[in-house]
Structures are given as C-alpha cells and as structure tokens.
Structure 1
Amino acid sequence: MSLVKQLILAICLFLLIAFSGSFLVSLESSRNQLQTQLRSHAQDAATALGLSLTPHVQDPAMVELMVSSIFDSGYFARIRVYAVSDGQVIVERVRSLDETKAPDWFVRLVNLQEQTGDAIIMNGWQQFARVEVVSHPQFALNKLWDSALGTLAWLVVCGLFSALLGALLLKRQLMPLMSMADQAEAITRREYRTLPRIPRTPELKHVVMAMNQMVGKLKTLFEEEAAQTEHYRRQAYHDALTDLPNRLSFDHTLAAALTSTESLEGHLLGLRISDLNKINQQLGGARTDALLKSIGTQLKALQEAHPSWLCCRSRGGEFLILAPGSNLESVQAVTEQLAIQTAALEALTELHEQQPLEFGIAGYRIGDDSKQLLGRVDQAMTESSLSGTSIKPGYKPASEDDQTLNNAHEWRSLLEQALKDFQFTLHFQPVLQGADLKQLLHQKLLVRMRSADGQLMMAGQFLPWVERLGLSAAFDRCMVGLALSHLQRHPGPLALSITNDTLHSAENRKQIRQLLEQHRNEAAHLTLEVDARYLQNCDDLASLAQDLRPLSVQLGLQHFGRQLSLIGELALIGLSYLKIESSFIRDLDTESDKHLYLEALVRTAQRIDLLLIAEQVQSQGEIAALKAAGIEAMQGRALAEPGEWKTEGNT
C-alpha cells in the first residue's frame, strides 16, 4: 500500500475515533440533560392539566376533551386520570413508543427512558383524582439523531478535505523521492540522468544531491572510458596529418561493403596528387603538408554531408571516397565540385606545371573483388583529363552488362507500386546469443523486392533509390505495417531498421508512433534499429526513445563503431543494444590490429550494462575471435542464412 493511501487511511481512522469519542461524550451529556427536561416537561404538563381539570371534575366529557387536547400535541406517551379513592381510570390516552425516525440500534444505544409527572385534582377540599403524565422520548431521540448525523457529515467533510489536502501535501513533499525512484529505475534501463530540482527539505536534499553525484560520477566514468577507447581507435584507424580515416580503416570498410548482401551498392571515388615528391621539393614540406590538410578539410566536410560515406587518405597524395548507395549523377556532381574546390587551393595555383590533380570514379557491386575495384578506380584516375581549366574525372562502371534500372522515373513507378500494394518479400535472420549461440535474441527483418523482370532484389539495390526519391517515410510505414502484420500471426521478438528520414523528422516519428499505438500487443515484441552513422547528436534519438517507451517498443543502434564520442549521451537514452559495424569484425581472427579497439569497446559497453551484437559475421574464425573478445551475441551468415519465415525453428 502506498504512503499516500496509508496517510488517507490514518486520517480516516483518526477521524472515526475522534467522532466516536466525541459522540459518546456528547451522548452521555445530552441524555442526562434531556431526561431532566423530559421529567420537567411531564411534571409541568401534569400540574397544568390538574389545575385546568379542577373546575370540571364532575364533567367527564370536559375532562376527556381537555386531556385529548393536550395529548394530541404529540409530546406525551401516556396521560391518565384515575380516581384517588378506588383507582378507577377516568380518562386514559396512550401512544406507542416506536414512533421515531432514529434506527433501533441508536434508540438502544441512547437508552433514553420516558419520564413521569403527576398532580392531584381537588374537589373542594378533598382529593378527587390523580393526573399521571408520561413524556414521549421520540422528539429527544429525533433531535439526538439529527445532531449525530450533522456531526458525522461535518466530520466526513473535514476528513475528505484533510485526506485530500494531506495527500496533495504529501505527494508534493515526496516528489523528490518519486523522482529518485524514477532515477534508480532509469539506471537499470541504462539511462543516467540527474535531477535538476533540489528539494528544500534538508533530509531529501542530501539524498538527491548524493544520487546526482553518483550519476555524474558514472557518466564521467563512461565518458573517460569512451575517450580512451576513441583514442585507441584513432591511433589505429586515423591519419595523423589530415585527421581522416587511414588506409587500414578503408580496407576494413570496403571488405565489409563488398561481402555483405545487406550492404548498398555504390561508387568508389579517387583523388590523387600526382608526383607528390616533386611538389614537395617545389613547395617545401610545411606547405605540402598544409595542402594535404586542406584537401582533408574538404573531405571531412563531404563526410559530414554524407554520413554513410567514408573519406580516407590512402597513401601519400591519394585519397579514396567510398560512397555506398550513391548514383552516378550525384557522384559526378560531387566529384566536379570537389575538383573545383581542390584545384583552387593556393598551393596548387602556384605550381607552374600542368594541373597535378587526378579524379576517378568506379562503380561496384556486392561480391566484387576489392583488388579489382581498386584497380578500376586507379585506372579511372589515370584516365582523368583536363578540359580547359576544369578536370574531367575518369569513370569505370561496375560491369558492362548492367541490367538494373537506371532511370529515376522507372524506379519511382516500381517503388510506388510496391509501397501501395505492399509488394515486398520479408526475409528473416536470427540474432543469437549465449556461450553456445543457441538462444534466440530476436529475428532481424530483411526486405526484398521483385524487379520488373521478376528477379528478387536485395535491399542494397533499391534502398538508395528509396532515399533518393524521397520515399523513406512511406517505406518505413510500410515496413512497420508488414512487421506488425507478421507479429499478429507469429508473435515473437523482431527487429526492424528505420531510415534516417524517420529518425530526424518529428512528423515521421509521430506517424510511426500512431501506427504502433494501434497495435500495442504486437508492438511490444518490436525493436526499431537506427543507423548509427547518421548520428550527429542524440537529441532525435532521445525523442524517438521517449515516444517508444510507453508502447514497450525497444530501440537499438546498428552499424556502431565510429561514434564513441557519443557514448556518454547514449548511456542516458536507454538503448537495448549496439550492433557493431561489420568493418570492425571482418577478418577479426586474422587481423590482430582490431582486437585492442574491440576489447576497449566491450569494456565500455559492459560498464553501462549495454548489450553488444556483432553484425554480418561471415566465418567461424570471426565467431571464435568475437567470443574471445567478450561478445556473445551475433548475427550473420556464419550463424544462419537469411530466408523466408519457417514455422518450424522460428517459433
């Protein structure tokens, strides 16, 4: 029972005791007073009636009339006139004592007895008759009953008012305690937040300040651990001069992009400063380093504009840009703009020889060989040429027999029809956890779509066009609807990715929330996953978590690994898990340089009790290496191939 209810019950009990005691004391006092009044009333009535009957003692009719007139006033139980000599009754009127509105239990409790008065009727100098008057206690009982009801009503009103006022005051005083309880529950959900309002009550003030200090220490600890882990990552995967990812980071990301069927197809851009040694001799080492830093600054701006891309310094004066999900037109526009900006750098304009910049574009598909792809982009850079003062980048397509749609109108028609008729095929891949990887954490929903010729397309082929054509919000609503429909038939934990547009649009989040509210039972099994590469801050992610929490929908972060600076903020949100980007996992068993960073990431996640899941695990060697690093939840082809729902084995 809550403290407020206990307080209300105590107030009611206290008022009941107070009312009972007050009533009993008042009853005893009132009963003695009323009995005296009844006795006096009976005696006065008897005396008055005796005097009135003396002149008419020989007239029985008049005696009876006078007795009846007094008796009919209703204040008497009995009036009797009888002869003194032989006791013969001359006149008698009697009324029942049950004529009262007070209940029987109250009458028995009061025990108010009738009172008697008498007088002598004289006939000359002789006593002729005696008048006996008995007062009726009905009116005294009614008065006591009304008084008791009035007292009870007043005490009930006072009790209700006191209970309400006490509950409000107690609730106000206990708000800091409730906030601390919420704060403690939030810690169990991996949300570490402080209470901004400090109560004035000294005892509560001390407790709240202690809780805030503890949460602040935890957050600081997480941030320090994350900063140390980020330091390890930058040492291993960043170029010190340009502050861009280095060739090792690029190789890992490229390998993951080419081996996963869930990755997006796209293009690889190359930028090269030819004959860097000669430029270094002309400009000097300091100015050459400044030139490389300037190009790095431009590429970092490009990285911020396209969070899913990876811009890196490969070696010397060569830079590579991996652009998954890009189309040729947008990549050519980006390359031309980058060429203009780079060619305009002061250090390059001072060179007296031919423009040393080379740009190239090479397309790639899932399954391509990384060496062949790098060869294509190298050849494309070699074939770049000058057209006046502008640089025309070379281009090498992924293949010459490209049969996929390239026309935006055709893609829009195909996608809009699929969204309208829910013409998507759902595939599922289990996410397993435990030392033996036998326990199902959830099923990851993967979407496929039929092309115009009936071929089943992977998500990486059509998702870029979904984003490019502004259909992301409609696509997310469609996928959530399909997931809820599936959960109606097959209840169980299910994870579904949502796009960047839904994450960063309040209106899109509202529409998703309304859809989930209509299917609360099914939504309780759902986990929505957000792409960590698009996180610049955690404000929108926190808003989404707040919207989903009343619906019991969980929230996860996928493709995580480069955003460790946000780990302190992520600890406050209450995520269910982090899925580690596949580039940090690929060939983990053979590339020892990845172990230090991954182990640091595991330690950081363990400190905030956050589950880590390795995504796109491709080999048994990677599984063993991940277990050794402390990661016991995984998803990938090495565990189970994606496929359509099978009742057996998925129940």
Structure 2
Amino acid sequence: MTLRQQFSLLTSALVIVLLAGSLLLTVKNGRDGFQQQLNARAYDAATSLALSMSGVEELDPVELSRQIDALFDRGFFADITFTGVGGNEIHRRARQALSEAPAPQWFMTKVTFDMLPAETDVMVGWQQLGTVRVSSHTDFAYRDMWNMVKAEAIWFALVLLVTLVLLHMLLGWLFKPVIRVEQQALAICERDWQIQENIPRARELRRMVLAMNKMVSKLHALFTEQSATTERLRQESFHDAATGLLNRRGFDQRLEHVLQGTDEHSGVLMLLQVEHFAEYNQREGRQAGDDVIQLVAQSLQQWHLEYQNSVCGRHAGADFALYAPCASRGHADELLQSAFGQLATTALNQRTGLNFHLGGVFLQGDQDVLGSALSRADAALRQAQRHSHARAILYQEDRASQPELTGGQWSALLKSVLQNNHLSLQFMPVIKARGDARELLQLEVYSRIERDGQSMSAARFWPMVEQHQMAAAFDISVIRKVMLMLQNEPLKSNARICINLSPASVIDNAFHQDLVQLIRQYPQQAHFLALEVPEYCVRNAEAELVRLAGIVRPFGVVLGIDQVGTGTVAFSYMKRLPLEYVRIDGSLNRGLHLAQDQRFFIQSMIQIGHKLDLLVLGEGVEVEADVDELGQSGIDGISGYYYSRPFGSLAGVEQWLEESDS
C-alpha cells in the first residue's frame, strides 16, 4: 500500500469517525429532547382533561367520552384512560398514529423512548371523582427523528465525499514531488541523470528534493569523472598521442587476438612506410614532419570509416599498420589497393614530394603467429620498395590453397546458404565468474557455412556477406535458427543466447519489421534472446540502437555491446543506451596478469558498468592467470578456450555443464 493510500485511508477513517460520532450524539440528544417533549405533552393533556372533566355534571359518561375522544382524535396520544372512584373506566388506545411506518423497524428497535404515563386526579372541590392517565404516541417522534437523521446522514455523506475529493487533490498535489523523486531514482537505474526543476514550497519536501538533486549531480559527476579517467587511460595505454591511432602495443594486441582468437580469422594485414621520412623531417623541420604524419593518420581514419571493422595503428615514425577482415586473396588485394588509393589521392599525393609503399599479406586459418604475420607483410613491403614509385604489393604465399571464389560465385554460394538453410551454429558458453560451480550466464552464437565439404567461419565469409548486402538476411536466418533450436531443445537454465548483429542490420527498417514478426512467432523463446552489436557501431547508429531496443524490449529481448574497449567512442554511451550487458574485447583480456596498467583499465570499465547496473563480461580468455585477474577485478562472466571450445548444439552445452558439476 502506498503512502498516499495510507494517508487517504487514515484521513477517511478519521472523518468517518467524527461524522459518525456527531450523528450518534445528534440521535441521542434528539431522542432525549423528543422524550421530554412527549412526556410534557402527556402531562399537560392529562391536566387539561382533568380540569375539563371536573365541570361535567354528575360525571356524565357520554360527556366524559366526548371529551376524551376530542383529545384522542388529535392523534398525538397512544392511550387515554379515565378511572372513576367506583372502578368504572373509559379508555381509548391506538397502536399507530400514522398510516405508514414512521421509520424503519431497525431504527425503531435501536432508538427507544422511555415514555411515562401522566396521571391527574379529577376533583370537584375537595372530593376526588376519578383519575385520568394519558400516554403520548411515539410515531410522530420517530417520523421527525428519522427525517432528521436522514437529512444529517445525507449532509454527512456529502461532506465526506467532498472531503475525500479535496483530500485526493491535496495529496496528489503534495505527493507530486515524492513521485518525481521516485521517477528520478528509477531514472538513475536507467542511466538517466534527471534534475528536478520544480522545487516544492513545503520545507520538508523542498529539502528532500534538493537533497535528491544534489545526489544525482554528485553521481553524474562521479560517473563522468571516472569515465573520463578511463578514456584517458585508454588513450595513454593503447593510442598514439600524435595521431590518435592505435600505438604499436594496441595494434599488435588487437591483431594477436584476431590471429589467436577462438574463431577462424580471415583478413589482410598491411604495412605502410613513407620513404626517406627522416631526411624530410630534417630538411623541412619537425613541425612539417608532424603535419605529414597527422595527414596520413587522417587519411587512414577516413579509410577506416568506410571499413569500420578494420584496425589502424602507427608503429613508429612514418610506419603504419592496418588490418581489415576479408574473405579471399582477391578481396584482400582490393582492400590493399583501396587503402593505397586513399593515401595516393590525399595525404601522400605527388605534390607532397613524398614517396610511400604498402605491403600486405592475406591471413587465413585457425591460428597464426603475430611475428610470422608481420614478417610476411614486411617482406611484401620490401618488395614494393624495390620500385622507385609508390607501389602496393600483396605477399605471394608459397603454399597451395583452395581455389578462390569470384564475386559472382560468392554471391551464389551465400544465396544458396540462405535458400537451403545451410547455416550451422555453434555456442560458446559464458560462465559466471564467481562461485565454485560452473553456472551458465550466456551462450555466444558463432555461425558457419559449408563450402566443398569444408566448414567456413563467419570471419571468412562475413566480409562477402556485407559486400553483397546480405547482412540483414543472414542475421534474421541466425535468429530464426536459434528460435527453432530453443523450441526443440529448451534450455534448463535461464541463460541468454547472444547473437551479434551487423551494423547494416541495425539501420535497416525492413530488418526491424522481420525481427518483430519473428519474435511474435516465437514469444516464449524470445525471452532467452540477447542482441549485441560491436562498440564501433555506436558512433554512427546510436539513434537506431535506441529504436531497436524500444522495439524488442517489450518482448523480453535485451541489448548488449560487444568488443568494448576497442572503439574510439566515449564510454558515456553506456548510460544513454538501454543496455543489459557489455562484453570487454578479448584483446584486452589476453595477458592481463602481465600488464598492471591494463588491469587498471579493465577494473575501471567494470566499475563503470556496475555503477550503471550493467552486466560486465569478458571473452577470449585462455589461461588461468587471466581468469583469476578478471575474477578479482569483479567481472560477472567469462568465456574462452580456458573453459571450452564452442559446442554444436544446446544439448552439448547442457551435458558439458552436468559433467563439470559432477
């Protein structure tokens, strides 16, 4: 029961008690007044009748009856009796004075009159001739009293009704600040820092609202300060101060995570070097050299905007590195030439007088070594540098590989997968970080397709999915397949199944409509669904993410952010978006036990997430030392090869959990 309802009930009870008490007093006083009046009327009537009878000669019975009837016919008396000295009587009695009942029977039973008959002697001189006894009738008293009670009850009911209405309005006005404080507190939980502008005049309420506003301001300031500190730490640890790109440590860490990740990798690594930059720096001055470096960085950032899932970094001096996912050598060469063209027409065009070269290597497989990948890319760069003019060369692999598909063949393959539903799924368990038993929090979904009997991970075919604008269709296909699996193999736990959406799907209205239709088709399974997007998607699609969350949240579907800590977007998006969880990128979790500054950065991100009531998860963990560090940092859940490899079915996950517990 709310405080407002308690106030209303208490005040209503008080008013009812006061009105009921007033009504009871009115009835009691009215009864006493009517009783006194009736007894006085009976006494006066008896005295008057006795005087009248004393003048009757020889007490003529006819005349006496006539006088008694004259008084009795008025209807105010219930009994009139004359008793002579000789014992003869003349009496008149009436059961009721009115044709209808004067009041309800229950009222007459509860309210009773103590009527005393009035007696007066009939005297002639000093001689007593008889006695007259008169009793008043109560019908008129009951009638008048019942009418009075009804009038007062109606008046009291009106007063009570008006009082309750006015009380409701008054409490509504008084409790507006309290309701706004409640909304303010709930808004804090939703990561919305509201300040009340309308300050109430009542001193107690005013102090409460001002205290709440002060607390909100303090919380917002603390969050902003910690977020800014974490942002600054990220910039200092993983980004180059002059260009804003990743520094060598940050780039190598991201690349190593891709190469050693839990899924297959497929992409192109590119190394850029500006020729004779040291001589240019000495000849033109340090400032001119810095300007060139910044122009190159701006060009690479423009190229990165076109390929948002790519990674750009500065290794040292005028040496830069790039990595972008791709599906084949042909696609890798296209990306290499695209980056070359971007630089050749902007920062390093012929008018600058600076020559540059670009070397790349196509990387594909289950696992690869960072040093080997950089060595092959460097070999391609040296081969390009043998030419006097700017050149971009892709490293030629010696080993034989499967024949590559053309663009048309890729399109046919992907369409066939969609039409024939040949998409297969794998599930990576996310385990609760604290607790002895392995408790399942989530399942990350990995998708695969078949080509000539060989399984291909999303890292290999997804770049072609996006290039052929099929991302929304594939995302819907994955979600539909998950729904069907949940329908056929219900999970015993309440774990969420997390599906990573492409940025192209997030901004696609048709995808939103198809998603709602699919969720309505499987309403029970939708409660186990979580949709997540990579952090770099937030910068250009924040409004669409808010709209998507508004569409799916009523059905029990939640939203999360993946690859947290790798983007350049400020962490303040966590309080603006209606999120359920965030997942820290695996590149930041690898080697965590060896890097003090990296541990502090992870702890700061976890604290930010927890202050916003978000679930914070970590992925890509393979060694126990990193698991221990993440657990001590307060993370909620962890996934990676340390626990298991992905499973091909939900039943396989359930069986693995049962075996782990036993």
TM-score range (shorter-chain normalised) is 0.7 to 0.9
| Corresponding position of 2:29 | 29
Paired AA for residue 195 in structure 1: I
| Cα-to-partner distance string for 1:306-354 (whole Å, 9 max, x where unaligned) | 432211223444433222366778776665554444323476323679x
How far, CA to CA, are the matches of 1:628 and 1:286 in structure 2? 46
| Corresponding position of 1:494 | 496
Corresponding residue pairs, total:
631
Distance 1:424 1:350, change over 3 A: closer
How far, CA to CA, are the matches of 2:459 and 2:641 in structure 1? 16
> Which of 578, 586, 589 matches 1:585?
589
| Corresponding position of 1:474 | 476
1:244 to 2:241 alignment = no
Q: Gapped runs of 5+ residues in structure 1? A: none
| Corresponding position of 1:215 | 216
RMSD of equivalent CA atoms: 5.0
How far, CA to CA, are the matches of 1:119 and 1:477 in structure 2? 106
Query: Under a length normalisation based on structure 1, what TM-score does the superposition of the two structures give?
Result: 0.77
Q: Secondary structure at the match of 1:567?
A: coil
Q: Secondary structure at the match of 1:218?
A: helix
How far, CA to CA, are the matches of 1:648 and 1:182 in structure 2? 45
Paired AA for residue 239 in structure 1: D
| Cα-to-partner distance string for 1:261-292 (whole Å, 9 max, x where unaligned) | 34663333454434545655775554343222
> Which of 402, 418, 428 matches 1:415?
418
1:153: Cα distance to partner?
Answer: 4.1
1:429 to 2:429 alignment = yes
Q: Secondary structure at the match of 1:559?
A: strand
Distance 1:66 1:498, change over 3 A: farther
Match runs of 1:158-169 below 5 Å? 158-169=159-170
1:439: Cα distance to partner?
Answer: 4.2
Please tell me whether the aligned partners of residues 361 and 395 of structure 1 are also in contact (alpha carbons under 8 angstroms).
yes
Paired AA for residue 6 in structure 1: Q
Paired AA for residue 537 in structure 2: Y
How far, CA to CA, are the matches of 1:329 and 1:151 in structure 2? 97
1:4 to 2:8 alignment = no
1:290 to 2:294 alignment = no
> Which of 641, 645, 649 matches 1:641?
645
| Cα-to-partner distance string for 1:161-183 (whole Å, 9 max, x where unaligned) | 43343244334323333444455
1:583: Cα distance to partner?
Answer: 1.2
Distance 1:396 1:347, change over 3 A: closer
Segment of structure 1 superposing worse, 292-301 or 234-243: 234-243
| Cα-to-partner distance string for 1:201-223 (whole Å, 9 max, x where unaligned) | 34333333333333333333333
Match runs of 1:207-286 below 5 Å? 207-262=208-263, 265-277=266-278, 280=281, 285-286=286-287
| Corresponding position of 2:204 | 203
How far, CA to CA, are the matches of 1:452 and 1:88 in structure 2? 132
Q: Secondary structure at the match of 1:451?
A: strand
Paired AA for residue 557 in structure 1: I
Segment of structure 1 superposing worse, 536-545 or 170-179: 536-545
| Cα-to-partner distance string for 1:452-501 (whole Å, 9 max, x where unaligned) | 66655434345545553132663475367357647855242224134245
1:613: Cα distance to partner?
Answer: 3.0
| Corresponding position of 2:563 | 559
1:525: Cα distance to partner?
Answer: 5.9
1:596: Cα distance to partner?
Answer: 0.7
Please tell me whether the aligned partners of residues 266 and 364 of structure 2 are also in contact (alpha carbons under 8 angstroms).
yes
| Cα-to-partner distance string for 1:543-574 (whole Å, 9 max, x where unaligned) | 66777777776654331113586334525768
Distance 1:108 1:86, change over 3 A: same
How far, CA to CA, are the matches of 2:34 and 2:513 in structure 1? 73
How far, CA to CA, are the matches of 2:197 and 2:178 in structure 1? 12
Paired AA for residue 497 in structure 1: I
How far, CA to CA, are the matches of 1:59 and 1:404 in structure 2? 138
Paired AA for residue 445 in structure 2: L
How far, CA to CA, are the matches of 1:524 and 1:629 in structure 2? 29
| Cα-to-partner distance string for 1:424-450 (whole Å, 9 max, x where unaligned) | 5452413231276x4425132324445
How far, CA to CA, are the matches of 2:353 and 2:567 in structure 1? 43
1:614 to 2:624 alignment = no
| Cα-to-partner distance string for 1:506-562 (whole Å, 9 max, x where unaligned) | 886788678778988766666554422322286666666777777776654331113
Distance 1:17 1:260, change over 3 A: same
Please tell me whether the aligned partners of residues 578 and 612 of structure 1 are also in contact (alpha carbons under 8 angstroms).
yes
1:628: Cα distance to partner?
Answer: 6.7
How far, CA to CA, are the matches of 2:498 and 2:228 in structure 1? 30
Identity of aligned residues (%): 23
Paired AA for residue 430 in structure 2: P
1:536 to 2:539 alignment = yes
Paired AA for residue 643 in structure 2: L
Please tell me whether the aligned partners of residues 380 and 395 of structure 1 are also in contact (alpha carbons under 8 angstroms).
yes
Match runs of 1:109-188 below 5 Å? 109-114=110-115, 134-181=135-182, 183-184=184-185
Please tell me whether the aligned partners of residues 190 and 578 of structure 2 are also in contact (alpha carbons under 8 angstroms).
yes
How far, CA to CA, are the matches of 2:6 and 2:28 in structure 1? 33
Distance 1:194 1:135, change over 3 A: same
How far, CA to CA, are the matches of 2:83 and 2:205 in structure 1? 86
Paired AA for residue 27 in structure 1: V
1:581: Cα distance to partner?
Answer: 0.9
Please tell me whether the aligned partners of residues 427 and 446 of structure 2 are also in contact (alpha carbons under 8 angstroms).
yes
Distance 1:392 1:163, change over 3 A: same
Q: Gapped runs of 5+ residues in structure 2? A: none
How far, CA to CA, are the matches of 1:152 and 1:449 in structure 2? 80
How far, CA to CA, are the matches of 2:548 and 2:190 in structure 1? 16
1:200: Cα distance to partner?
Answer: 2.5
| Corresponding position of 2:367 | 367
1:580: Cα distance to partner?
Answer: 1.9
| Corresponding position of 2:13 | 13
Please tell me whether the aligned partners of residues 385 and 394 of structure 1 are also in contact (alpha carbons under 8 angstroms).
no
How far, CA to CA, are the matches of 1:299 and 1:250 in structure 2? 14
1:599: Cα distance to partner?
Answer: 1.7
| Cα-to-partner distance string for 1:94-138 (whole Å, 9 max, x where unaligned) | 31699554343x43543224576799999xxx9999886644323
Paired AA for residue 196 in structure 2: P
Please tell me whether the aligned partners of residues 121 and 131 of structure 1 are also in contact (alpha carbons under 8 angstroms).
yes
Segment of structure 1 superposing worse, 465-474 or 609-618: 465-474
Distance 1:385 1:48, change over 3 A: farther
Distance 1:156 1:271, change over 3 A: farther
Q: Secondary structure at the match of 2:314?
A: strand
Segment of structure 1 superposing worse, 281-290 or 42-51: 42-51
1:615: Cα distance to partner?
Answer: 0.6
Paired AA for residue 492 in structure 2: H
| Corresponding position of 1:444 | 443
Please tell me whether the aligned partners of residues 190 and 608 of structure 1 are also in contact (alpha carbons under 8 angstroms).
no
Paired AA for residue 216 in structure 1: S
Q: Secondary structure at the match of 2:539?
A: coil
How far, CA to CA, are the matches of 1:632 and 1:158 in structure 2? 59
| Corresponding position of 1:597 | 598
| Cα-to-partner distance string for 1:241-279 (whole Å, 9 max, x where unaligned) | 322112322221111112223466333345443454565
